[in-house]
Every structure is written in C-alpha cells, then in structure tokens.
Chain A
Amino acid sequence: MGINTQALMAQLLVGLINGSFYALLSLGLAVIFGMLNIINFAHGALYMMGAFVAYFLLSIFGLNYWFALVLAPIIVGAFGMILERTMLQRLAGLDHLYGLLLTFGLALIIQGVFQNFFGSSGLPYAIPTALQGGTNLGFMFLPTYRAWVVVFSLTVCLLTWFLIEKTRLGAYLRAATENPTLVRAFGVNVPRMITLTYGLGVGLAALAGVLSAPINQVRPLMGADLIIVVFAVVVIGGMGSIMGSIVTGFMLGVLEGLTKYFYPEASNTVVFVFMVLVLLLKPSGLTGRAA
C-alpha cells in the first residue's frame, strides 16, 4: 500500500479547484432555477464569456485581473439581464423544457460566435503578479493562485448563501420562489427582482470564468465541457437547495480528485456514475426537496 502523499495532495487540490467551479456554477443554476424555474443551459457559455471579458479588458483596455474580477461579472450579468428581459421572461409559466431549449440554443449561438472569431484554441491569460509562486508545505507544493481560487470561491459561495438565507432581500427571494404573486401583492416589484436574480446567477458564472482564465486558458468551448459535469452536480445535489449546491460542488470535485489518484481511468465518469446512483436511490437529489 504505497500512498504517495505528494501526488494524492496534488489531486485533492485539483479536485478542490474543480469543486470551486462546480460550486459557483451550480449555485448560480440553483438560484436561477428557484426564481425563474428555468434550467439555464446557457450557464457554461456565460462562464466562458466571463473569461473572455477578462481577456478583452486586459488586451484592449489594459485593465488587469483585479478589475476583471469586479467588471466581468457586472458586464456579463448585464448581458444576462438583457437576455432575461427580451427572451426568458416570455417563457414564464411554461414547462421547464422550453427554458432548457431556449437557453441551449443561446449557448450554441454564443459559443458559435466566439468560435468563429477565436477558433478553438486557448488564449493565454497570465496569473496576476501578486498571486504567482507558491509555498512548500512540506508534504506538497501549494501554488498561491490555486489556493486563492479555492478560498475566494468558497467565500463568494458563503456570501451568496448568507445573502439568500439570512437577509431581507434573501427573504424576498425565498418567498417569491414559493409564491411570486403574493410577494408582488405586498408591493415588491417581482419582475425586476427576477431579472436581478438572473443577473446574479450569471454574474457568479462569469466570476468563475475569470477565476479559471489563468488556470485553463480562455477558450470558446471551455464552458461547454464544464456545464455537463455541473448539470450532473446539480442533479446529485438537488435543484432546490443553496447550501446543497455549494457542498455538492466541492464534494464532487474532491471525489473526482481522489478518483484521479486511486483509479484514474474512472475520473471522467465517476461523477456520472454517482449521478445515476443518486437518481436511482433518491431522485430529488441529496439535499433537494421533493418536487
């Protein structure tokens, strides 16, 4: 039984990083699903747009990573809100399938446009100077940027959880998820709140895109690959729960990392095997409320 701590830790770290992206993306999907009742298939494309906005901000305007971290979620979030106002809003009250198809179409269009202009290869995006290098922890080498991604994502996830579960604005969101008509009859502008919620979910995806740019490069199809796994994460976690999507995101990232170490051949499928098991044993997901 030779366990190579160094290699195991490295895979665990990769798992935590992937888990960070899963958590940020599935959290956004959960928030959007709660309010809009739409399974936002465009999420991966919007994540990709976050990375591209970071790239443009740097290459065209000379605005570095830290600006991108703030501006990309706002810019892509605003783009998302335009999509919601002009298209998604019209699907209110219809079956999930319509939203899924529309956002799937949007994802293909957005990715197609970017592919047309930038091909399929990756554009480089450097790690910001302040986060370069790393620390030797003795049992492993910890690159600063990767530690930053995990800590920052976790912080953003917990802040979002706090916003939704513990604040007055969050109480509006939760109440409107249950009974939008009544919340509106109390004087809350629910349609505007729905638009902002979509913007928030999309902003989280864009933020994940910026975080991933220095690690995975900037590619038109970077979201297309990721979104399939994220949907599996959402199915496993259950659509309803905010904390559930955060925990499941990180947990499945780690599960993948461990599999890469112990049985690398299965590392790409382990999440889906797990998904099938969950669907068979607890179809509403690990933390989801039954539909």
Chain B
Amino acid sequence: MSDKAIGSDIVSAPIPVREILPWIIFGALMLLAIYFVGAEEGATSLIKGMYVHEWVHDSRHLLGFPCH
C-alpha cells in the first residue's frame, strides 16, 4: 500500500469480542490470584487459618494492600 498517505499506520484490526469472551475465565482466575495475595485471611477468608496471610505478608504490605 505504497499509495497510502504518509502518516497513517495500518492499524491492526480489533480481535472480535466473541473470540475474547471465552478467555474471560482466565481473567477471573487472575483476579482470584490477586485476591489471595492481597486480601485472603485478612478482611475475608476462603481458607481457614492464617497461613496464606503470613506467607505473603510482606508482599501484601509492599504491594499497597491494607494489612495490620
């Protein structure tokens, strides 16, 4: 497309939404992983005990999540 005006890139076509949708489940898994680092056994708890909280404790503070 050498006749195309200078100054316009050939922008990649958007990926159809129906192609992206099935992957949303992975987005939910990512959010769950972030939840475990950020809030599990702090404000709320899916697993009993304090082990997850204590294990990721320093990263929870340094990543900006509320802790003790």
Whether A associates with B in a native complex is no
